Amino acid sequence: MSSPDFIQLARDPFAREDVVRRSVQTFGSCTWCGGFRMRAGKALRHLFQYGIWRDAGKPNFEERRAFTAAERERGVDRFRLPLLFCSKACHDAYHGA
């Protein structure tokens, strides 16, 4: 791993990959529970995006696609929205892990 934006959470030496996360500034809420990160009773304006960093290259982050109605008909995706979570527990629950 070479980027300071990412924090390594776990390493799988056999698969040669790391589980990483990065903090994303947002006014949105957690994809799974709809909550926010809290500190001292105040909502923090960042959530976490989790991904896999393989030894061979850049990280692969989870995203969901957002479409306009016309693009959906044509089968074209316009932009991607990151899946953001308030904690690793919400990330694991979302993916059924």
Q: What is the pLDDT of residue 80?
A: 56
Q: What is the pTM of this model?
A: 0.67
Check: CB of residue 78 under 8 Å from CB of residue 68. Answer: yes
The tokens describing 66, both together, are 């957002």
3-state secondary structure of 52: strand
pLDDT digit string (tens) for 34-43?
Answer: 888 877 777 7
- Of the candidates 94, 84, 97, 87, the one whose C-alpha atom is nearest the C-alpha of residue 29 is 84
Check: CB of residue 11 under 8 Å from CB of residue 18. Answer: yes
End-to-end CA distance of the chain: 24
Share of the chain above pLDDT 90, in %: 0
Residue with tokens 């009773």: 41
Residue with tokens 């008909």: 73
Alpha-carbon gap, residue 64 to 80, rounded angstroms = 6
